[in-house]
Amino acid sequence: DTAVSQTPKYLVTQMGNDKSIKCEQNLGHDTMYWYKQDSKKFLKIMFSYNNKELIINETVPNRFSPKSPDKAHLNLHINSLELGDSAVYFCASSQGLGGMFFGSGTRLTVV
């Protein structure tokens, strides 16, 4: 069983489209995250979420929105995609202050 799974693995779409990336964790962790890794390999936090609190990185455009139907899922919706959104998006989870477990990533290409 994959601990943190995200789909799709690859996503190619046109500018202006709306897309979603799904993430599920079966570790029973209380916090989930979305990170963006650009072409220079810089890992930048976008959101963190647990049952109580959503923390948004203020630099993230409001075209990006996390949706959490339950504790084990944190999906990422992106509206009006732009070329600069092309990157690898990683979902991750952690319990308390423990280590973070990452999904395998979604490579988003906007054309």
Partner 1 sequence: QQPVQSPQAVILREGEDAVINCSSSKALYSVHWYRQKHGEAPVFLMILLKGGEQKGHEKISASFNEKKQQSSLYLTASQLSYSGTYFCGTSGYGGSQGNLIFGKGTKLSVKP
> How many positions of this chain bind partner 1 (CB under 8 A)?
23
Cα–Cα distance measured from residue 32 to residue 103, given in angstroms and rounded to the nearest whole number: 11
Identify which range of 10-18, 19-27, 45-53, 79-87 contacts partner 1 by CB under 8 A. Answer: 45-53
Q: Answer yes or no whether residue 97 interacts with partner 1 by CB under 8 A.
A: yes
Verify binding: residue 98, partner 1, rule CB under 8 A. Answer: yes
Q: Which of 41, 51, 58, 83 binds partner 1 (CB under 8 A)?
A: 41
Phi-psi region at 84: left, alpha or beta (left = phi > 0; alpha = psi -120 to 50) = alpha
Based on the shown chain and the rule CB under 8 A, indicate whether residue 9 belongs to the binding site for partner 1: no
- Token pair of 71, please? 């504790």
Peptide bond into 8 cis (omega under 30): yes
Check: CB of residue 108 under 8 Å from CB of residue 89.
yes
Contacts of 30 (CB under 8 A, 6+ apart): 50, 51, 71, 94, 95, 96
Q: How far is the CB of 102 from partner 1 (least distance, A)?
A: 4
From the list 45, 68, 71, 86, which residue makes contact with partner 1 (rule: CB under 8 A)?
Answer: 45
Q: Does 28 bind partner 1 (CB under 8 A)?
A: no
Indicate whether 63 belongs to the interface with partner 1 (CB under 8 A): no
- Residue 102 sits in the site that holds partner 1 (CB under 8 A): yes
